[in-house]
Amino acid sequence: MRPEGLYTALVTPFDGNGAIDTEALTRHVSQLGDKGVRGFFACGTTGDGAFLTSDEKERVFAAVLEEVPQDAEVVGAVIAPDTRSAVRDVHRLAEHGLAYVAVVSPYYGAVGEQELIDHYLSVADAATCPVLAYDIPGCTHNPLMDAVYDAVLKHPNIVGVKDSSGDFSAFSRRLLQESGTRTTSWIQGDDSLDASALLVGASGIVSGLSNILPEPFVEMLRAHRANDSHTMLAMQRVINTLHGIVRITGRATDAVRLALSLQGLGSRHGTSVHRGLGSEWDKPVSAAVTAATEQMHAFRTQ
């Protein structure tokens, strides 16, 4: 089993008191499922996974797994600063029946090449479900380089890479090196690169912006399966308009959460770290979402 297609990087909604709003979460998952989403990525960067307790993460996974369509896959992110904590979290998540776990590199302290290799091999040995290596150096400051990939992707339980580095040159080079002999699923995690990644052979995308407007992402994957590059690029233009909420605020997770709250789902508030955007951002965020929605409608009615 290999991951492919669209995975929405779920926002974890909170109420005004800082508690996880499970009612809003399950309603959100249900709505995404109704719009064609069949992949769900929980407790990742967009889901504030680095700031949730183990018990809170388990509540999120339980709520998501209870609500997803029967043919859906759920990926659980493991965001831990060291190998011991990552192995512990992987063991706890095994009880939930996740399709995959996506594991970041250790963070806070600098980690050497061999330590990164040992980290992933230890987690892969401990995991009872397939593992994705999750590269997000903007947060971990410990990027996964070629030598690390060469070593860890030989492990039979590491089946893919979720690349949120934003380095499309490295992503496409590594992906194309496997052309014709590929056993690894290369998953793009930057919404501004979705169409480009799929066109060079990526297996799928993990999208934070699809929380807000899943339609262009679902349509892009449909077009990809049909070898319809024209429609894929049209959907990327819609996504680029929606991406404006990230560019103007500089705070991706808070911008997605605000957009959802303006749609009536959850509050604008996040964790004690991500407190949310103020009301001065309501109009510009709403304007970008409206513009993307109108572009999507124009495409469908042309």
Residues marked as catalytic: 134, 162
- From 152, 226, 161, 240, select the one nearest 196 (Cα to Cα): 240
Q: Token pair for residue 10?
A: 């779920």
Q: Give the number of C-alpha atoms closer than 13 A to the C-alpha of residue 128, restricted to the C-beta side.
A: 10
Question: Within a 10 A sphere around the Cβ of 180, how many other Cβ atoms?
Answer: 5
Close Cβ partners of 12 (under 8 Å, ≥ 6 residues apart):
20, 25, 42, 43, 47, 48, 49, 52, 60
DSSP 128-179: SS-EEEEE-HHHHS----HHHHHHHTTSTTEEEEEE-S--HHHHHHHHHHTT
Residue with token string 């029967």: 70
3 state SS of 107: coil
CA pair distance 196, 198, nearest whole angstrom: 6
CA pair distance 80, 177, nearest whole angstrom: 30
Q: Are 98 and 68 in contact (CB under 8 A)?
A: no
Q: Token pair for residue 89?
A: 């979290």
Residue with token string 């889901």: 47
What end-to-end distance do the CA atoms of the chain give, in Å?
38
Looking at residue 73, its amino acid is E
Q: Token pair for residue 44?
A: 């990742």
CA pair distance 83, 278, nearest whole angstrom: 37
